[in-house]
Structures are given as C-alpha cells and as structure tokens.
Structure 1
Amino acid sequence: MTELVRLLADGCQSELEIWGCLQVLRGPGMPAFVQQRPITVAGERFLLDAACEDVLLAVEMDGAAWHGSREQRERDIRRDALVATVGWQTLRFSYRRLTVEAAACRTEILTVHTARRCLFGLDVVR
C-alpha cells in the first residue's frame, strides 16, 4: 500500500501508468524519470507522462480510453510534433506493449536514452 501511495504522489494517474512505472520505467538500469512533467510550447501546456529531463526524452503510456480514437491519435501526433520543436523526443507505448512486452519497452527506452546522451554530449562515443 505504501508503494501505491508513493506512485500516486509521484504523479501516476492511471493503472497503466502505475504498471509502466513499476515494470518498465523503474526497471533495472533505467534512467531517472519525472512523472507528469509540465511543458509549455507555443502557448499550450502539456503534461508528459514521464520525462527524462537530462536528454529531453518523454515516455507516453497510451491506454485505449485516452488514445484510442482517431481524433485522440491525431491530437497526440500534433502534440509530439510541438514538443519536438523545443527538443523533446517522445516514445509512445500502448497498453499491450507495456503489459506484454515490458522488457522490449525498457530496451527501446534505454537505446534512445543512450543515443540522446551521446547527441547531447553527455557521453563520449568510442
């Protein structure tokens, strides 16, 4: 129960976000993420589900209730394009991928995180 309260206090707003935090974002070797990170772009305010601020990497956990319709998907595409204009890269994971392929999601996040660390000059490429 204590862990659930901590996850809610950290900003998890759905069962999928709780699952994503426990099984993906907080897995072994994962970078630190901030939950529900606010960002304003072109006068519009958004909340990123999870953000790795040092490399401007956002992870969105898309449940069908909020991201299932065509209009919602188009809104997500527009939002991702807007946040990209200020340097953020967004990775989106569906309910199925997060719950069935958690290890593959972690690998994808780590791969992109590593590449962005190099891009930002935080790691030396050898």
Structure 2
Amino acid sequence: MALVELVGLLADAARANRRSGVLQVLRGPGMPPFTQQRAVAVGGRSHLLDAAYDDVLLPVEMDGAAWHGSREQRERDIRRDVALPATEGWQRLRSSYRRLSAEPEECRRENRSVHAARRIPRDDGR
C-alpha cells in the first residue's frame, strides 16, 4: 500500500511541476492577464478551460498526455471545442506541452498576437 501511495504522490508532483512550467509561458513578460481554470457554461453543461483571456474570449488549452491521457478526456475536449465557438464566440488556442516547454517565447508571441487581433473591432457586425 505504501508503494502505491508513493507512486501516486510522485505522479501528482510531476503533473504539478509540468503545469507550473506551462503557466510560466502565460505569466511571461508582456503577457495579458488571464484566468486559470476558467469555468464556462455551454448548453447547460459546465466546462473547465485550462486558462482564458476573458476580455477577448480566448481560451488557451494545454495538451499532452498528462492532461489528455484517456480517450474520454480527449472526446470531452473535442465536444467542447465544437460547442464553444458556435454558442459563445470563444476562439481556442491549443499548444502541446512539448511546444510550450521547448518554445515558450514563440508560444507567448502567438498568444499575444491572437489576443491583440481579437481586440480589434470588426466592421462585420460582430
């Protein structure tokens, strides 16, 4: 029993460490403020976004085996990806853990660019 508990604790610590490293991308220099673990309601169901720039309806999803290790988790994400833009106007950014870890500044540039583009008023009535 003690070995099983130890393995569980080590796995939890590894997930927390990965999540912390990824959040450093969102907290980097020049990044807009975001909400971590943002709840949204779609079609009467509550969904949890990894992080979101609420001011421009831009969720940032962090993909990888640590967060999407099962087929069920991935299926939930796909259903949410379809429902959010259609009903609420959210545009999603997805990045893999590998990319967030290996290319943090490129991910920051991409997030800032999309965030800025979403702030520009449109003439098409949206």
Fold match, TM over 0.5? yes
Q: Which residue of 2 aligns with 1:76?
A: 77
Secondary structure in 2 matching 1:80: helix
TM norm structure 2: 0.76
* Bigger Cα Rg: 2
Q: Check if 1:103 corresponds to 2:98.
A: no
Report the number of matched residues: 108
Query: For the structure 1 residues 14 and 44, does the alpha-carbon distance in structure 2 shift closer, same or farther, using more than 3 Å as the test?
Result: farther
Question: For each residue in 1:86-124, what CA deviation from the matched residue of structure 2 results, as whole angstroms up to 9, or x when unmatched?
Answer: 011111111100100111111110111011000479xxx
Once the 2 structures are TM-superposed, how far is the Cα of residue 68 of structure 1 from its aligned partner?
4.2
Instruction: Tell me what 2:20 maps to.
Output: 18
Is 1:114 the counterpart of 2:106? The answer is no
Stretches of structure 2 lacking an aligned partner (at least 5 in a row): 1-14
Match of 1:48 in 2: 49
User: For 1:3-42, what per-residue CA distance to the aligned partner results, in whole angstroms no more than 9, with x for missing partners?
Assistant: xxxxxxxxxx8333211212x1011111000111111100
Moved over 3 A (4+): 68-74
What is the alpha-carbon distance in structure 1 between the residues aligned to residue 122 and residue 59 of structure 2? 15
In the other structure, the counterpart of 2:38 is 37
CA positional deviation for 1:43: 1.2
- What SS does the aligned partner of 2:67 have? helix
Consecutive unaligned residues in structure 1, runs of 5 or more: 1-12, 122-126
